[in-house]
C-alpha cells in the first residue's frame, strides 16, 4: 500500500509515470476516495483553467 501522494497523482495525469508506478497509483485510487476526489478536482480545474495557488509569505 502506498501513501497518498498529490505529486504522484499529478504525474499520473501528466502521463509521466512508468508502467509499474502507474499501476501502483491506479491500485491506490481504487481504495482511496480522497485521491479519487483529488484527481477529479485537478482534472476539472485544468479543463476550466482555474487553479488554486497559495501566496508565498515572506518571513
Contacts of 6 (CB under 8 A, 6+ apart): 38
State pTM to two decimals. 0.74
CA distances from 51 to 6, 46, 47 (A): 14, 7, 10
For the chain, the domains span: 6-48
C-alpha triplet 19, 44, 27: angle, nearest 5°: 30
- Tens of pLDDT, residue by residue over 10-27, are 999 999 999 999 999 999
Q: Give percent above pLDDT 90 in the chain.
A: 71
pLDDT at 56 over 90: no
Amino acid at each position: 500500500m502506498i501513501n497518498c501522494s498529490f505529486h504522484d497523482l499529478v504525474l499520473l495525469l501528466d502521463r509521466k509515470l512508468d508502467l509499474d508506478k502507474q499501476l501502483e497509483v491506479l491500485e491506490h485510487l481504487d481504495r482511496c476516495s480522497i485521491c479519487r476526489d483529488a484527481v477529479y478536482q485537478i482534472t476539472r480545474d485544468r479543463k476550466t483553467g482555474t487553479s488554486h495557488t497559495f501566496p508565498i509569505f515572506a518571513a
